[in-house]
């Protein structure tokens, strides 16, 4: 461990030992984060491949590239992979795993072995779901709606459901680890009010993981059981109710949207403060808004079901409650903006992604308000308007924040700087490509183009071509970072411990950090984001 | 109470055997009540009574046999949160099922 391998290079988590076994049996949170990074990136490209197939099919009005059955499988697999195997684990399992223990000044997560177990469960779930896809695919949509999934679909529903069930436990264990780590492992002096907002938002996300995931896991198990043994939970002929599935499914899957966005919001808080050189405006409100979003997120699920045949009175209640979530979300957006006000802003790549996040998330959030109102929802339900809305939140919000965080902490993770000019170009391409892809879909949806069809009337072609063209730009924007991140591992400039001159304990240790994170347990005597009062020398100490 | 800190969940507290026997006796009595009530037809109240008794029994097990009563506040908060979330799931789902029949026209 402490044996000096070389005199020149400081011992760190990457060079402390070598070999495949040292990675597959590691309990170091930083190595587990890297394992997640690799596996999640693979899933992202696979999900992206399915997305490109969808967009290519929609280039022309006729269903000419793939059959309607294949198309159903393509959008289902795109959804399952992107939601369950990329977006949900992306920020918490990669960036959170790496950064949270460093941020709280701990040597590791509270349960390092459980942390490794959660990666193995993720892999087992992913392999199970991929097996279902390779051996014939699933065509239910990522939502597995009954009675189609339980009775009529002839595809590998059970395999995919079990894959997600297993991956759910990975999520629960990660959440548990975050909760216990943040409660128990904080460095002396690091009170809740001094905790970085990234930790707060991961804590809020962990609440959703621990309390929500069991419900989706058991619901999908019920689908599998109903399919195999006709137990009559969802089948009305056996006394069940198909809409009950939607209640149970969305009880988790709506909060899951916040699970995807909350850790991302934490990333944005860190970046906005750092590149504005200011303390986050209204720190307490931003912190508590995370918890509020996590809790309110559980009160709104039936807004997915307004036209499914639920009671109109229940629909009224859920519509009203859905508006509530806008309040803490708006608190965050306004406070980030207020943080930037009169700040000393620098336009580095993470900040460019953060700008993109704030704008796109706002569009996604506001169109969510449209969809929460009963009248408009009846008109645009199951159209491309919905597709555009949730891609603005999940891709425009979630993926933008993931990219922002990856660029922000890449120097910490690898000790190397990425090429700034290329990175700025890619951020620009992602922003332009994203809007070209998804903005036309708002118009398509408003004009009545339904989702989940492989053919469409010719008058919709111009907007669809625009969307497919945008997707190609977006793809280039995502390929570029893949190339320059790999390039930077070998040719990148040395980052030093704190290239951004940021506050936060993770910047006070070397890059890449040593296996035990800190040579001495840090003692915190300052507020979070103390960019205005903290003397620069104090921020940049460490080696 | 003040045992080893790490062990508060499992063997941190040892209650008098008399207490365990008393709780066991209450659980048995409640089980007997459930069985007896099931033989009387009180309409939809049958389910309600059975669920209420089951909830009381579950609470006793968690409080005494699982030592929640002697656990730190954080453990209690965790259990209460889980129960609260279950309450959210059930009550908000019931807003649909209890009022679906109210509207005369189906759907919207």
Question: Model confidence over A165-211: pLDDT tens digits?
Answer: 999 999 999 999 999 999 999 999 999 999 999 999 999 999 999 99
Chain A closest CA to B21's CA: distance in Å?
A: 33
Flag if B108 and A302 touch (Cβ within 8 Å).
no
pLDDT value at residue B6: 45
In a domain, A11, yes or no: no
* pLDDT (average), residues A464-488: 97
Is the minimum CB–CB distance between B107 and chain A shorter than 8 Å? yes
pLDDT value at residue A10: 79
Average model confidence (pLDDT) across chain B: 85
Asked if A342 contacts A416 with a C-beta cutoff of 8 angstroms, the reply is: no
In a domain, A207, yes or no: yes
CA-closest candidate to residue A268, choices A183, A205, A337 = A337
pLDDT value at residue A81: 97
Could you say which residues of chain B have pLDDT below 50? 1-10, 107-108
Flag if A311 and B96 touch (Cβ within 8 Å).
yes
pLDDT band at A539 (very low <50, low <70, confident <90, very high): very low
CA-closest candidate to residue A454, choices A466, A464, A440 = A464
In a domain, A13, yes or no: no
Flag if A311 and B89 touch (Cβ within 8 Å).
no
Is the minimum CB–CB distance between B102 and chain A shorter than 8 Å? yes
The vertex-B76 CA angle with B73 and B79, nearest 5°, equals 155
pLDDT value at residue B105: 56
In a domain, A9, yes or no: no
In this structure, what CATH number is given to the domain that contains residue A480? 1.20.210.10
B87: which chain A residues are within 8 Å (Cβ-Cβ)?
none
B81, B89, B100 member nearest A251 (Cβ): B89
For residue A510, pLDDT beyond 90: yes
B89, B97, B106 member nearest A215 (Cβ): B89
What is the torsional sign of CA A60, A64, A67, A68? Answer: positive
Question: Model confidence over A344-398: pLDDT tens digits?
Answer: 999 999 999 999 999 999 999 999 999 999 999 999 999 999 999 999 999 999 9
Residue A390 to residue A381: CA distance in whole angstroms? 12
Cα A219 to Cα A145, A214, A341, A365, distances in angstroms: 11, 8, 46, 27
Flag if A313 and B95 touch (Cβ within 8 Å).
yes
Is the minimum CB–CB distance between B95 and chain A shorter than 8 Å? yes
ipTM: 0.85
Q: If you search the block for the tokens 């190397």, which residue do you land on?
A: A416
pLDDT band at A128 (very low <50, low <70, confident <90, very high): very high
In a domain, A437, yes or no: yes
Average model confidence (pLDDT) across chain A: 93
Residue A159 to residue A173: CA distance in whole angstroms? 22
Q: If you search the block for the tokens 């497919």, which residue do you land on?
A: A468
Biggest distance spanned by C-alpha atoms of chain B: 63
- Domain enclosing residue A376, as ranges: 23-539
In a domain, A88, yes or no: yes
B74, B97, B99 member nearest A183 (Cβ): B74
> A-B interface: how many C-beta pairs under 8 angstroms?
53
Residues 6+ apart with CB under 8 A from A498: A507, A508, A539, A540, A542
Residue A284 to residue A288: CA distance in whole angstroms? 6
Residues 6+ apart with CB under 8 A from A374: A306, A315, A316, A319, B108
In a domain, A29, yes or no: yes
For residue A3, pLDDT beyond 60: no
Flag if A301 and B85 touch (Cβ within 8 Å).
no
Question: Model confidence over A309-332: pLDDT tens digits?
Answer: 899 999 999 999 999 999 999 999
Flag if A311 and B97 touch (Cβ within 8 Å).
yes
For residue A109, pLDDT beyond 80: yes
Residues 6+ apart with CB under 8 A from A330: A365
Residue A198 to residue A102: CA distance in whole angstroms? 12
Question: Model confidence over A51-105: pLDDT tens digits?
Answer: 999 999 999 999 999 999 999 999 999 999 999 999 999 999 999 999 999 999 9
What is the torsional sign of CA A476, A479, A483, A489? Answer: positive
Question: Model confidence over A271-299: pLDDT tens digits?
Answer: 999 999 999 999 999 999 999 999 999 99
B108: which chain A residues are within 8 Å (Cβ-Cβ)?
306-307, 312, 374, 378
| Peptide bond between residue A147 and the one before it cis (omega within 30 degrees of 0) | yes
Flag if B95 and A314 touch (Cβ within 8 Å).
yes
Closest chain B residue to A295, measured at CA: B85
* pLDDT (average), residues A23-31: 96
Count how many domains chain A has: 1
């Amino acid at each position: 461990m402490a044996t000096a391998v070389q005199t020149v290079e400081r011992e760190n988590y990457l060079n402390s030992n070598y070999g495949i076994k040292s990675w597959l049996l590691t309990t170091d949170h930083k190595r587990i984060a890297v394992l997640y990074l690799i596996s999640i990136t693979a899933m992202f490209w696979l999900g992206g491949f399915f997305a490109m197939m969808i967009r290519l099919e929609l280039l022309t009005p006729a269903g000419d590239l793939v059959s309607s059955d294949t198309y159903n499988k393509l959008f289902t697999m795109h959804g399952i992979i992107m939601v369950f195997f990329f977006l949900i684990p992306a920020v918490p399992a990669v960036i959170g795993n790496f950064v949270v223990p460093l941020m709280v000044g701990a040597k590791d997560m509270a349960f390092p072995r459980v942390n490794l177990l959660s990666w193995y469960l993720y892999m087992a779930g992913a392999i199970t779901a991929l097996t279902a896809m390779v051996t014939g695919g699933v065509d239910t949509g990522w939502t597995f709606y009954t009675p189609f999934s339980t009775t009529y679909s002839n595809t590998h529903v059970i395999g995919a459901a079990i894959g997600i069930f297993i991956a759910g436990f990975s999520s629960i264990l990660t959440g548990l680890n975050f909760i216990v780590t943040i409660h128990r492992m904080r460095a002396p002096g690091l009170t809740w009010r001094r905790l970085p907002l990234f930790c707060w938002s991961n804590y809020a996300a962990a609440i959703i993981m621990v309390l929500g995931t069991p419900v989706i896991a058991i619901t999908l198990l019920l689908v599998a059981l109903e399919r195999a043994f006709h137990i009559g939970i969802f089948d009305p002929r056996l006394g069940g109710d198909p809409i009950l599935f939607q209640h149970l499914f969305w009880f988790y899957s709506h909060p899951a949207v916040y699970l995807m966005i909350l850790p991302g919001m934490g990333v944005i808080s860190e970046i906005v403060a750092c590149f504005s050189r200011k303390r986050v405006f209204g720190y307490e409100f931003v912190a508590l808004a995370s918890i509020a979003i996590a809790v309110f997120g559980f009160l709104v699920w039936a807004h997915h079901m307004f036209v499914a045949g639920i009671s109109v009175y229940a629909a009224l209640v859920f519509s009203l409650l859905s508006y509530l979530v806008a309040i803490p979300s708006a608190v965050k957006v306004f406070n980030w903006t207020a943080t930037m006000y009169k700040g000393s802003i620098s336009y580095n790549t993470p900040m460019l992604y953060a700008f993109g996040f704030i704008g796109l998330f706002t569009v996604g959030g506001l169109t969510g308000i449209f969809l929460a109102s009963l009248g408009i929802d009846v008109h645009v339900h199951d159209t491309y308007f919905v597709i555009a809305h949730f891609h603005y939140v999940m891709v425009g919000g979630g993926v933008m924040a993931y990219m922002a965080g990856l660029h922000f902490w890449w120097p910490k993770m690898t000790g190397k700087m990425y090429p700034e000019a290329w990175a700025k170009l890619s951020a620009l391409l992602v922003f332009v490509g994203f809007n070209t892809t998804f903005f036309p879909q708002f118009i398509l949806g408003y004009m009545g183009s339904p989702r989940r069809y492989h053919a469409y009337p010719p008058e919709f072609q111009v907007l669809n071509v625009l969307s497919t063209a945008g997707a190609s730009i977006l793809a280039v924007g995502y390929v570029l970072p893949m190339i320059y991140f790999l390039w930077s591992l070998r040719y990148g400039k040395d980052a030093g411990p704190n290239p951004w001159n940021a506050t936060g304990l993770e910047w006070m240790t070397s890059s890449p950090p040593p296996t035990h994170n800190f040579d001495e347990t840090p003692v915190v005597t300052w507020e979070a984001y103390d960019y205005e009062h903290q003397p620069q020398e104090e921020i940049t100490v460490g080696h | 109470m003040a045992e080893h800190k790490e062990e508060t969940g499992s063997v941190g507290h040892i209650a008098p055997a008399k207490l365990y026997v008393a709780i066991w006796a209450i659980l048995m009595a409640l089980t007997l009540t459930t069985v007896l009530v099931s033989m009387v037809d009180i309409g939809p109240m049958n389910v309600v009574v059975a669920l209420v008794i089951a909830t009381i029994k579950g609470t006793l097990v968690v409080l005494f046999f699982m030592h929640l009563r002697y656990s730190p506040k954080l453990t209690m908060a965790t259990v209460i949160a889980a129960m609260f979330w279950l309450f959210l799931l059930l009550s908000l789902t019931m807003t649909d099922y209890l009022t679906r029949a109210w509207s005369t026209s189906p759907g919207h």
